Each structure stands twice: as structure tokens, then as C-alpha cells.
Structure 1
Amino acid sequence: MEKKRVYIAGLGLIGASLALGIRRDHPEVEILGYNRSEESRRIALERGMVDRATADFAAWAPLADVIILAVPIQQTIDFIRELAGLDLKENVLISDAGSTKAEIVAAAEDFLQARPVRFVGAHPMAGSHKTGAASADVNIFENAYYIFTPSSLTKPGTTEELQDLLSGLHARFIEIDAAEHDRVTSQVSHFPHILASSLMEQAAAYSQEHALTQSFAAGGFRDMTRIAESEPGMWTSILLTNPEPILERLEDFKEHLDRVADALRSKDQDRIWNFFEEGRRVRKQMEIHKRAGVDSFYDIFINVPDEEDAILGILELLRGTSVVNIRINEENREDINGILQITFKNREDLEKSAKIVRENTDYQVFLDE
């Protein structure tokens, strides 16, 4: 029996990580890869992510039983148009990994409607500041949402087949309408990136007259603006393919800011207190703190003294544990203790690490529940 062939177009962080996930649960599948960059093709081949790799997208598409387009949004649409003119296998399953869905689904329904293919839009809600096949991680999707946005070309059993193929990702699969996906992500993903970059732009201008702005930018400011370091080309494409929901969120946010400004001008203590209390209450209720939230990470916070080797000592205790990120909060502190924040991908590593630190040090340890 002929091997099932999966063709992944785009061997960057997402595409290469998808290949690793497929490989984990389905080693019998032949994985073909496309990428313009020779370096990513070489890495993907050397590390066994793919069996064969090409720089010619059209050449291998007719060989595939499943095609996953893990390329930028506009290139995804261009590839869908190109697929419509190729001699594809009958009933081939085509999907993508774009961050906006309505325009991609519309393109598929337009260009592929007359072809004997299946199409389901998809958005794996995971990522990293790292890029390229060299950064691929089989665990990057663990507990994260993998969203399917069905189309008129999504036949019965299509999403189930794709879920089975992607079972090695250990993701949380969910189906929603493409337009609703774009509305929701405009609030929780797209608008926050605009806000983060706006804060950085404002701070840069402000620091021209107030130089200490850059020195004091720690804690909350750092956490709120971390995503401003994201790749600008990708976010330009996201905004331009989801303008209406994002513009609506911008107008709504202006109204929220105006209400806070009015309360401050009138020195209305109760309104100001209620503003912060409502924000605190809503955040505690959101999935941010729960398994399968958008980021699906688990954090431990350790009060550490500002002493030589204190942090190194903790990391030595946790040797062998998979750590997603490490940061030192309150770098401009005046007190003796700072906060070491360590991020883990799963709760098992979080709880094990907290136990180790508590048993071997007298530091205070807190978990982000």
C-alpha cells in the first residue's frame, strides 16, 4: 500500500514544528517539504523533519494526499490560486496555518470550488519570537488551541482526518466560523500587538525629553510591550486582512480611555477604583490562568535575593527540566529581593520545579494559578 504523503509548504517555525508533530504519532507518513530558503530545507532534511524538500512549490503538490500551507497570509492565498491550476490528487485535503481566516477561506471557496478537493482553514495558536526550521519544537503546540474554520469545501470527516494526522501536536482542537475567528482574534491577539507597538512609539518620543523613561521601563511596561518585538511583515499582513474588526476594537478602546480620563479629571475616586477592580476581576476569570488558554504556559515566581549566583543556583536545581522562558522582574528595584519568573510548558514540570525549589531553598515560591 502506498504511503500517505503530507506536503508542508513553508518550513519555518510553524511548518517545521507541524512536521515534527506528525512524525511523532505517524512515523509511517512520508513528509514532503517546500521552502524557498535553502538553509531551512537543509536543516529540515538533516533533522529528519521531512523526507524530501524542494524549492519548487508546484512540483510536488500533485503527489500529496494532504497539503498544509504554513506560509504568510498573502502567499497562502497565492498558493491556493496556484493549486487550482495543478493536477492534484482527487479528494486531496488542503489546509493552512494563517493567523486570519476569512480571506483565506474565501480564496479557497473561490479558486478551488470546481476542483475535487477538500479545504478547511486552520490557525494553530502558538508561536515564538524565534524563526526558521532551526527553531522547530515538537511541543510548541502542546495544550494550545488549534482552530479549524470549515468552508463549503469541508466535507464530512475532513476535520476528523486532520485531527488524527495532527494528534502528535497534543493540541486542543476547536471549530469556529472564519469570520468569528477574525473577530475574536482582533480583540485578544491583533489589537494587543497594535497597543504594544503604540506604547513603544509613545515611550520612544517621551524619552527624548525624559531620558530616565528607558531606565525605568521594567515590570508591567516590559510585560505589556514584549510582543512589540514580533516580525513586522507578518503583522502588517494580519492587519490588512482583518481591518474591520480591528478598527472596531480601536474605536472601542478609545471610548474606554476617554472614560478613565473623565474620571481622573473629576477626581472620582470610586470610578477609578472600580475601573481597576473590574480589570482585576475579569482577568482572574479569563482562561489566561487555565489550561488551554491562548499561551498555555505555566509560570513559577520565586523571590530571590540580589546576591551573586542566587539565580544560577536555582537553575542548577532545575537542570534537566524543560524551561520555556526565564525573566527577572523588577530590575530597577530598591528592595533586597527581586522576582525570578520561570515559564514551563506543562503543569507537571511547574509543580515538580516548585517542589524542588521549596525543598532546597528558603525562597518564597508562588505559582500562577
Structure 2
Amino acid sequence: MGKKVIYIAGLGLIGGSLALGIKRGHPDYTVLGYNRSDKSRIIALERGLVDEATDDFAAFAPLADIIILAVPIKQTIVFLKTLSQLDLKDNVIITDAGSTKLEIVAAAEKYLMDKSVQFVGSHPMAGSHKSGAVAADGHLFENAYYIFTPSKLTKKSTIATLKDLLSGLQARFIEIEAAEHDRVTSQVSHFPHILSASLMEQAGEYAGEHDMTNRFAAGGFRDMTRIAESEPGMWTSILLTNKEAVLERISDFKQRLDRVAQLLSQDDEEAIWNYFAQARQTRKEMEIHKRGGVESFFDIFVDVPDEEDVILEILELLRGTSLVNIHINEENREDISGILQISFKNAKDLDHARKVITDNTDYNVFIE
């Protein structure tokens, strides 16, 4: 398609990263941005995320060929209503970046049905603990799922046009119905956040009577509760816009916990063993290890001694390689070694890391 004007409402981590990806794939496009806060607008302009920015959402909307709503879910619905009252370009494409889809698609069909517009729901399944325009990352969506949920306002060309627009993201595009999207994400994303927060609530209260709880909270507990640090407002909105699916998952899980409790009460060793064995096998068969989604990276593990500058030594070997995350596992071990876990976005960087660390150190390197 020819030169286009793209309008991104919301210049935080997601919106800013989308802007970088669009500019990488289409440097000739004009990218306009909206953000309520002065700080994010200034940063977005300084970093070149957008060509112009405003704090008036309605100001740039009539200029756009494609509008991306990268704002919280409730604000997305408000903006859809606002767009229905504006004089937009004929056949403009409107999409969003919300984590739940059914209510957003329903709102678009409600407010925009009589307009000459195209709408498709979107969910880029990537994120970070960082936020704001300063955290924008042009590589954020590489190999992550970018989900489209068609609506009654989606034409045959709508998704193809967006795939072309977003080609610089190097994401994995997929289409799914909005209702099914919300059911699936209730299981693999929304409900796990409830579990994580509940574990932290339980452990926090338990630590009041057993003060070693906080000291021993490493390893598996740390990994299971990392997402409890997520932004509360966002997750409140997500749960309330996917209430029925999440409540169903909670009810199902209660029954599973009751079943495990019964097995323990009955001292049913064989059934308990089968319970863990089945879970282990199910996890191996899932796409968690095959770049199946947002949190799925390529991980390398290095046995490292508890000595000064060891981590700096390894990071120096990896200079120029794009890292996703690093941390030490088994932080409460009493022996001399820890396990350094380094995450990469692709297999090429992982293979490079394994080679340079193996060739230049005597540390044990392994991949799960």
C-alpha cells in the first residue's frame, strides 16, 4: 500500500513499541500519537516514536488511514464511542491492543456499525515489567503471537493490510474468534495471575507467624509469583471484562485442589505420583518450549561459582547479543554454586551464547 498516516492512541510500552516496529517496516509512513501525559509525549517525540503528538484524542483521528487504540480496555471502549462521532476517512481501519476481546469487539460493532470503517480486534501478546514511552522496544513483539479477532466490520482485506503495516514487528500473526480468545487467555493468562496473587497473599500472612517464609521464598515460589508484580489497574480491568470465563476456571481449579486434598487424606501414594507424572508430561507436550507465546523464550543455564565478577565475566562474553532476562536460580542454596539463567528471543542467540561460554569458561552449560 502507498504512504499512510498511522494514529496510535497510547504511547506506553505497547503503543510505543508498535510505533517503532511500524517505522522499521515502513519508514515513509507518518506516525501520529496521542497520550494524556506530557512526559510520555515528550519522550515519544524525542525518541522518534512518532512524528507528532497530541493530548487531544479527537485531533488526529480524522487524518488517519489506520487507528490503533493502545490504551486500557475501558478507555478503548470510550474512544470507540468517540470515533463514532468524528468525521473519519472513508474506510479507515481501526484496531486495538487490549488483553480481552469480546467486550471491545461488541463495543466496536455497537458504535461503528453505521460508519464507513473497518474494525478488527487485536492482542499483541508481549509485555514487560517496564512501562511508559521510555520502555518502548522495537523488538518487543519478535516471535510473539499477535492475535486478530475479526468483527462484523472486518473486511477480507482488513487483516492483510494490518499484517503489512505490522510486518516490522516480526510477530506471529494468528486469527481467532473474540469469545474463544477470551476463553483461552482466561486459562493461560488471566487465571494464573489470580493464582500468583493468591500465593503472595497466603505467604504474606503466613510469614507473620513463620518469619523464615520470606527468606526461603526462592526457586519455584519465586517463578510462580513473579507475575504478582503486574500492574493492579490493568489486571482489574482484564478480569472484569472476562468475568464469566475466569469464574469458570476458578470453579474448575477448586475441584482439582479438593481432589488432591482427598488423595493426601487417603495416603494414596500411587494416585499422587500419577498426578505429578501427568502434569509433567502435559507440560512437555505443550508449546511452552516451542515459542508458543509471550513469555516463552530460549533459555540457557550456567552453573556458576559464588565468586566476584562471575556474572560480569559471562555478560562480557555476550556483549552485542540481545538478552531478554537474566537471574540466579536457587538463591537460598548453601553450596558454592548457583544457576545463572539467561533468556534470549531466538535460537541463534542461544546457540551463540552456549558456544562462547563453553569455549571461554569451564562452567557447566545446559539447555532444558
TM-score range (shorter-chain normalised) is over 0.9
| Matched-pair contact (CA < 8 Å) for 2:300–2:354 | yes
**Which aligned segments of 4 or more residues in structure 1 are displaced greater than 4 angstroms?**
none
Tell me how far apart the structure 2 counterparts of residues 311 and 13 of structure 1 sit (CA, whole Å): 28
| Structure 1 position 20 matched with structure 2 position 30 | no
SS at match of 1:321: coil
Tell me how far apart the structure 2 counterparts of residues 169 and 353 of structure 1 sit (CA, whole Å): 24
* Residue in structure 2 matched with residue 94 of structure 1 by the alignment: 94
How far the C-alpha of 1:264 sits from its partner, in A, is 0.7
Tell me how far apart the structure 1 counterparts of residues 194 and 95 of structure 2 sit (CA, whole Å): 28
TM-score calculated relative to the size of structure 1? 0.98
Task: Tell me the alpha carbon deviations over residues 38-72 of structure 1, each in whole angstroms, 9 at most, x when there is no partner.
Answer: 11111111111100000000011000000000000
Tell me how far apart the structure 2 counterparts of residues 148 and 23 of structure 1 sit (CA, whole Å): 21
Moved more, 206-215 or 260-269: 260-269
SS at match of 1:111: helix
* Residue in structure 1 matched with residue 240 of structure 2 by the alignment: 240
Tell me how far apart the structure 2 counterparts of residues 242 and 71 of structure 1 sit (CA, whole Å): 17
SS at match of 1:324: strand
Specify whether residues 251 and 311 from structure 1 end up closer, same or farther in structure 2 by C-alpha distance, changes over 3 A only.
Answer: same
| Matched-pair contact (CA < 8 Å) for 1:172–1:292 | no
What is the 5 A alignment of 1:24-173?
Answer: 24-173=24-173
* Residue in structure 2 matched with residue 199 of structure 1 by the alignment: 199
* Residue in structure 1 matched with residue 337 of structure 2 by the alignment: 337
Task: Tell me the alpha carbon deviations over residues 168-222 of structure 1, each in whole angstroms, 9 at most, x when there is no partner.
Answer: 0000000000000000000000000000000000000000000000000000000
| Matched-pair contact (CA < 8 Å) for 1:143–1:296 | no
SS at match of 1:206: helix
Moved more, 328-337 or 160-169: 328-337
| Matched-pair contact (CA < 8 Å) for 1:98–1:123 | yes
Task: Tell me the alpha carbon deviations over residues 240-275 of structure 1, each in whole angstroms, 9 at most, x when there is no partner.
Answer: 000000000000001111111111111111011011
| Matched-pair contact (CA < 8 Å) for 1:219–1:330 | yes
How far the C-alpha of 1:2 sits from its partner, in A, is 8.2
What is the 5 A alignment of 1:181-192?
Answer: 181-192=181-192
Task: Tell me the alpha carbon deviations over residues 91-112 of structure 1, each in whole angstroms, 9 at most, x when there is no partner.
Answer: 0000000000000000000000
Tell me how far apart the structure 2 counterparts of residues 335 and 325 of structure 1 sit (CA, whole Å): 24
* Residue in structure 1 matched with residue 278 of structure 2 by the alignment: 278
Tell me how far apart the structure 2 counterparts of residues 14 and 293 of structure 1 sit (CA, whole Å): 16
How far the C-alpha of 1:292 sits from its partner, in A, is 3.8
| Matched-pair contact (CA < 8 Å) for 2:12–2:132 | yes
* Residue in structure 2 matched with residue 302 of structure 1 by the alignment: 302
| Partner AA of 1:322 in structure 2 | S
| Matched-pair contact (CA < 8 Å) for 1:288–1:294 | no
Moved more, 286-295 or 207-216: 286-295
How far the C-alpha of 1:291 sits from its partner, in A, is 2.5
* Residue in structure 2 matched with residue 259 of structure 1 by the alignment: 259
| Partner AA of 2:317 in structure 1 | L
SS at match of 1:11: coil
Unaligned runs of 5+ in 2: none
| Matched-pair contact (CA < 8 Å) for 1:142–1:170 | yes
Moved more, 342-351 or 172-181: 342-351
Task: Tell me the alpha carbon deviations over residues 268-300 of structure 1, each in whole angstroms, 9 at most, x when there is no partner.
Answer: 110110111111101111111003433241111
| Structure 1 position 322 matched with structure 2 position 322 | yes
| Structure 1 position 218 matched with structure 2 position 187 | no
Specify whether residues 281 and 2 from structure 1 end up closer, same or farther in structure 2 by C-alpha distance, changes over 3 A only.
Answer: closer
| Matched-pair contact (CA < 8 Å) for 2:197–2:225 | yes
SS at match of 1:131: coil
How far the C-alpha of 1:312 sits from its partner, in A, is 1.8
Tell me how far apart the structure 2 counterparts of residues 205 and 195 of structure 1 sit (CA, whole Å): 15
Tell me how far apart the structure 1 counterparts of residues 105 and 94 of structure 2 sit (CA, whole Å): 11
Tell me how far apart the structure 1 counterparts of residues 91 and 7 of structure 2 sit (CA, whole Å): 15
Coordinate RMSD, CA, aligned: 1.1
